[in-house]
Chains A and B, each alone.
Chain A
């Protein structure tokens, strides 16, 4: 049967893999390709490489990083996010080894482009990313570049051409980096019931992950900072995720 997915999220800033806290404070981690290679060995179901400063600086996707990662010959599906402005960017990122593309800034700047991306890559390859927070019981969508927020109702959603994407990632940006702080009301408040959701931001403990992954419209959960505090962090989470259909923890044994 189809499994729920545990995604290893690698936040990249100025070429460095970093820990991110509430979209505003960062701590240095290391080289993205070494972090990604490690998540591949740990058996993450997918790896999301999220370059958070590409759109702000208008540099487009970090193709060099994708090339360095492809050269590692890893065999875990990779989602690339960061600076994808148009169809050409998306196709080139896929050619360089990304399996799926996630967009955020494009939803504000050029949402119609999603139709072209879908025609090129198929909407199963596309994910929309919405940083959200809850105020007075409602979801607010944040433009991380300028801090602007708008109510995430059907009107706002209709302007995003989400019919061309297969999945939506909701990030509880306020609680990002705070262990166990993800606001579990977020997936329940999202207006499009049947859109498969990926959740991120403050998800750390297995019990909490188990609860959100048991919601039927939630297909994946992303973990970022908390994967870097212990060895075999992915496997430890999987081991404790009882009752969730997920690939079992895998401990590689290199028979040389």
Chain B
């Protein structure tokens, strides 16, 4: 590893020389002396580590969790209608031969294509599944609080999908939870693959939940009640220890390459991708109307970049995009207009201009300069890129197989059939 890091002042944000991330990345980013970021350095391990040996390690790790009697499941696998779920279940069931209980937290922003992908997942891999549906009045009450307090419409989704598997592990006494890749490792190289980091309550609070667990949302000035948030509480330490709950990440044992993995799952198990206005990636987030839309817009307001930059950095590191190509794709996508805000407004029961008023209170002052009533401008404008975006997209080849509405009525689906198609 190269010697001591460059010495930039706190607050001043410096870009990595290889990818597009800057040191003000919300998960933290550290540049080394050559100006290369921790994310890119840890990514180099993907081409250096012996992944055969690491797979063997995974096999020995899961061995004690196989239930010989078959009376209960070997492990718990959190799934959605997108986000690498097919590849994860493929690894767990088809390659490790484990008998998983799939679990999913219903985000309520479901696209018909996401419903279809999840239904097809259950059929393709023949797995039992448990789906949690928290009563929508509590979910909306929480959403109003998290939107007001720290500009997030996604807290309930993130809190639910990171805790329901753990609660299920405790309730069903199935200690092993198997996740896909660790977001901190994949984006900013938070850990080396060899650290074999596991699921912790601290990481969930610190990063998934923006520093606020369920009880931190309660305030004597707000009407949000314990009855609304109790289902998002993490099991306490004594319970976790009694069951021996443990969450591992496949990305520490398998060379993680989401694009290649999705393409394999499209081919082998009929996963379906779709086009997005705000990114060139067609696979990662097809299950949700908001993740690549309003939520992505909020990410831009708060952090000054959006999901397309995550996808671009990933593809740079995998050698499928040059930095210039990546920048041109980002510039083409990151400010595309939102297409599904009306659905969210109807769901939460808010007017669009009123919603924008709330969103604007969370613009990051380091990134957005007010130019007058209702107008903002980015303080740092990225340099213009001149790559021909069309040819770049042609080359990199992300394919779509359906629209988000999958030919059905274009609306949030709470519980769907998702078959046939």
Contacts and interface: CB of A to CB of B under 8 A. Distances in A.
Interface of A: 13-16, 18-19, 21, 24-31, 34-35, 38, 41-42, 228-232, 235, 251-254, 256
Given A18-B30, A228-B197, A228-B200, A30 B238 contact: no
23 contacts: A14-B10, A24-B4, A24-B5, A26-B30, A28-B28, A28-B29, A28-B188, A31-B206, A34-B202, A34-B205, A38-B205, A228-B202, A229-B195, A229-B196, A231-B200, A231-B240, A235-B237, A235-B241, A251-B237, A251-B238, A251-B240, A252-B236, A252-B238
Contacts of A25: 1, 4-5, 32
Given A27-B190, A28-B27, A28-B188, A232 B206 contact: no
Contacts of A235: 237, 241
Contacts of A28: 27-30, 38, 184, 188, 190
Contacts of A229: 191, 195-198
Interface string B2-43: 011100001000000000000000011110100000100010
B201 A38 contact: yes
Interface of B: 1, 3-5, 10, 27-30, 32, 38, 42, 184, 188-192, 195-203, 205-207, 211, 226, 236-241, 245-247
Given A24-B5, A27-B189, 13 more contacts: A27-B30, A28-B27, A28-B30, A29-B28, A29-B190, A31-B211, A34-B205, A34-B206, A35-B206, A41-B237, A228-B202, A232-B237, A254-B236
Given A30-B206, A232-B241, A24 B3 contact: yes
Contacts of A254: 236
Contacts of A256: 226
Given A251-B237, A253-B236, A30 B28 contact: yes
Contacts of A252: 236-238
Nearest to B210: A31
A24 B242 CA distance: 39
Q: Taking chain A's interface residues, is the majority helix, strand, or loop, or is none over half, making it mixed?
A: mixed
B166 to A, nearest CB: 10
Nearest to B37: A28
A16 B28 contact: yes
A173 to B, nearest CB: 13
A253 B32 CA distance: 42
Contacts of B1: 21, 25
Nearest to B1: A25
In the complex, the 9 A-B pairs of residues with the closest C-beta atoms, listed nearest first: A28-B28, A253-B238, A30-B206, A38-B202, A251-B237, A34-B206, A14-B10, A251-B238, A24-B4
Contacts of A14: 10
A232 B202 contact: no
A83 B228 CA distance: 44
B241 to A, nearest CB: 4
Contacts of A251: 236-238, 240-241
A230 B205 contact: no
A30 B207 contact: yes
Contacts of B197: 228-230
A27 B4 contact: no
B55 to A, nearest CB: 20
B416 to A, nearest CB: 35
A203 B42 CA distance: 23
A253 B201 CA distance: 14
Contacts of B195: 229
Which of A27, A29, A30, A230 has the largest number of chain B CB atoms within 10 A? A27
A74 to B, nearest CB: 14
B85 to A, nearest CB: 23
Contacts of B200: 38, 228, 230-231
Contact of B203 (A18, A21, A30): A30
B151 to A, nearest CB: 17
B246 A231 contact: yes
A13 B4 CA distance: 13
B241 A27 contact: no
Nearest to B31: A26
A231 B201 CA distance: 7
Nearest to A41: B237
Contacts of A30: 27-28, 202-203, 206-207
B132 to A, nearest CB: 20
Contacts of A232: 237, 240-241
A254 B211 CA distance: 19
A27 B237 contact: no
Contacts of A15: 10
Contacts of B190: 27-29
Which of A19, A229, A231 has the largest number of chain B CB atoms within 10 A? A231
A38 B205 CA distance: 10
Contacts of A228: 191, 197, 200, 202
Contacts of B226: 256
A91 B236 CA distance: 36
Which of B30, B198, B211 has the largest number of chain A CB atoms within 10 A? B30
A79 B238 CA distance: 27
A254 B238 CA distance: 9
Nearest to B196: A229
Contacts of B236: 251-254
B43 to A, nearest CB: 13
B185 to A, nearest CB: 10
B201 A26 contact: no
